[in-house]
Amino acid sequence: MLMDKPRRGFWCPCWTEDLTDEMQWPALRATFDACSAPQADRRVAIALRAISPALDPDASDITWTIRPVVFLPPARRQDIQLPPCAYVFKPQAGSSTSGAPD
């Protein structure tokens, strides 16, 4: 469903951390959006029941957060030229895409 104006909702990211490796940054494992707080809570509960049997409780830590957000409508790009820098951008070799510092 396309939206034409901002709408309130909830953003729910899941992070895991390897407790046996103190140098490792938490890793983003999944995210989802929800329309209401009860819906977000139900989805997190279902996801935790699904994935927790696969985690070693002595070696992993999992964190789900539920944050209120405002979702913006997608930008319309029909007939819009991207700036020239968009076509010459090249990621640096060995750069991390996880968002965590190297």
* pLDDT of the residue at 100: 45
* pLDDT of the residue at 77: 64
- pLDDT, tens digit (0-9, with 9 covering 90-100), for 27-69: 888 899 999 999 999 999 998 888 888 877 777 888 889 999 9
Sorted by where each begins, the domain ranges of the chain are 7-73
Checking if the pLDDT of 3 tops 50, the result is yes
DSSP, residue by residue, 38-91: HHHHHHHHHHHHHHGGGS-TTTEEEEE--EEEEEPPPPP-TT-PPPTHHHH--P
- On whether the pTM is more than 0.85, the answer is no
